[in-house]
Amino acid sequence: MNRNKKGKNRKLFKKKSHSNNRLGCIIAIIVLIPILFGVYLYCQQINIQKNNEPQTDTSFQIPPGKDLETPVSLVPRQEQIIRHSGYTVSYNKDLKIPNWVSYELTREETKGKEKRGNRFIADPLVTGPIATNADYTRSGYDKGHMAPAADMKWSPEAMKESFYFSNMCPQHPQLNRRGWKNLEEKIRNWAIADSAIIIIGGPIIEKHPKTIGKNKVVVPQKFFKVVLSPFVKPMRAIGFLFNNEQAVEPLSSYAVTIDSIESLTNMDFFAPLPDEIENKIEADINYSLWPN
């Protein structure tokens, strides 16, 4: 083959190579476009989910020597503060029921496997009279847990303590088994979603309460719970108020401000919080802000 023909063949081969390369690049771009677009959409979805999730705030520090679980009493009252492994109780020996019960529930604690106990017994740390099973027998009232047994599944000791009579109040059966139970279940969901929840609950005693049993255990007219989610941004808190009667309405209908419960109980909840935060969250009643 002469040199001119060889040169022409080389030029033709180069042109074909360049064409093939351009075609390959175009095909690669066409293939990559939907892949890259898919990656972009996936990243966008992840960002949306992260923005919708509660953000934990570990920067908040409770002042030394203070704790968010202990309310401040604004009036004198009979009480014995007892700290158990699963909850703290302010026990009133005159009423034979607690003034309040408080505890923190964490996400990990909701995963406990301890089986429910059913042995209601006297609190060995109580000094003074306390209710017995006989007081509740045929009274028409349930032994209503203030700190529920289902929140104490993380420890055999905590489960046992949850059945102390210092943690019980006479509750209408259709409150204890309906509205009160529904709120307890909802709070467990909030603990899972928000990493930790602080709960304070108890009875509200108005004038001339009735009593049950030989020990004259006082029957509350109302019950309250206040709930704080301290490690989310923004911090949230909400109160719930129930009459001691059948409670079958949606939980949102029992939601109230913590300020209103403070007025009824003469207690100051979450006092260690900075005033600007405490004032804001305790005036809020937006149930829709809480995880479903």
Active-site annotation, residues: 145
Question: Which residues on adjacent β-strands are paired with residue 202?
Answer: 224
Q: Which amino acid is at 291?
A: P
Annotated binding site: 176
Judge contact between 87 and 103, C-beta under 8 A: yes
Phi first, then psi: give them for residue 112, nearest 5 degrees: -60, 155
> 3-state DSSP call for residue 170?
strand
**Cβ within 8 Å of residue 278, ≥6 positions away:** 270, 271
Cα–Cα distance, 9 to 177 (Å, whole number): 92
Judge contact between 191 and 228, C-beta under 8 A: no
Judge contact between 60 and 272, C-beta under 8 A: no
Judge contact between 242 and 180, C-beta under 8 A: yes
